[in-house]
């Protein structure tokens, strides 16, 4: 981004965004891509999950965006960059595992729809990019809204059936038996909340590189992304 080039290292700042719905393998490919390119990795979904956990722990209604934004401002949601992938902290407490629990997943879409809370987290994401200007960042709004000038903006997609199969497999591998019908309903409901919210909805960023992941393995997706990033940054005169 023009305004984000560091004066000490002009041409070495590289922001890559990856957006798309749940079940497209976004987090895994973003983490792998960052490792291959030697960039930092930002999982913005973890920030919304930490906000949802804070709502549960502080007895704040998930739809009370202003109370939540105030609380976050007070206690702080940040990353521990010494871990790989970076751990997420509320204050000084590591909640990286806890934010994946079902009670958090159940309310996170409501929390993520609140404008005041989004403003607070988007502002932290831009601050993080100042401090980590060589970054692969993934979420729903990273290329469309938070970093529209990122040098490459990816948009991942997959069919509902494939996304449901992946989720069922993921849950079964962690010992949870689920009905595929229930998962399809869950994904459809989340898609609706993510795409229909007024603020930072899930949309394809303009000028995005589209990748349909239905028939590709994680490794194939990362290979494809790596070659696109190498070519685009080289054409733009940016150092990797």
Q: Which residues bind ligand DC (CB under 6 A)?
A: 22, 44-45, 48-49, 108-109, 112, 139-142, 190, 194, 200
Toward ligand DC, which CB reaches closer, 39 or 111? 111
CB 112 to ligand DC: min, Å: 4
CB 49 to ligand DC: min, Å: 5
State the Cα–Cα distance between residues 52 and 36, nearest whole angstrom.
Answer: 31
Residue whose token pair is 């079964």: 172
Toward ligand DC, which CB reaches closer, 103 or 231? 103
User: φ, ψ for residue 107 (rounded to 5)?
Assistant: -110, -5
Q: How far is CA 62 from the centre of its chain?
A: 20
CB 139 to ligand DC: min, Å: 2
Toward ligand DC, which CB reaches closer, 222 or 233? 222
Toward ligand DC, which CB reaches closer, 22 or 39? 22
Strands 14-19 and 152-157, by their bridges, are parallel
Residue whose token pair is 């204050």: 91
Provide Rg for the chain, Cα atoms.
Answer: 17
CB 122 to ligand DC: min, Å: 8
State the Cα–Cα distance between residues 235 and 134, nearest whole angstrom.
Answer: 17
């Amino acid at each position: 981004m023009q305004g984000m080039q560091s004066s000490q290292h002009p041409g070495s700042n590289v922001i890559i965004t990856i957006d798309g719905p749940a079940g497209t393998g976004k987090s895994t490919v973003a983490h792998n891509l960052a490792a291959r390119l030697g960039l930092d990795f930002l999982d913005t979904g973890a920030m919304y999950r930490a906000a949802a956990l804070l709502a549960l722990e502080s007895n704040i209604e998930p739809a009370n965006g202003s109370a939540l934004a105030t609380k976050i401002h007070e206690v702080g949601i940040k990353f521990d960059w010494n871990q790989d992938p970076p751990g997420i902290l509320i204050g000084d407490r590591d909640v990286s595992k806890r934010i994946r629990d079902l009670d958090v997943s159940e309310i996170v879409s409501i929390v993520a729809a609140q404008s005041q809370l989004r403003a607070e987290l988007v502002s932290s994401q831009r601050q993080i990019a100042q401090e980590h200007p060589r970054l692969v960042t993934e979420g729903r709004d990273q290329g469309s809204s938070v970093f529209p000038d990122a040098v490459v903006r990816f948009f991942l997609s997959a069919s509902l059936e494939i996304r449901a199969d992946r989720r069922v497999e993921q849950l079964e591998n962690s010992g949870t038996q689920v009905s595929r019908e229930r998962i399809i309903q869950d994904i459809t409901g989340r898609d609706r909340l993510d795409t229909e919210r007024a603020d930072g909805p899930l949309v394809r960023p303009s000028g995005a590189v589209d990748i349909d992941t239905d028939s590709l393995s994680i490794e194939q997706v990362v290979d494809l992304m790596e070659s696109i990033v190498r070519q685009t940054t080289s054409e733009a005169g940016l150092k990797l």
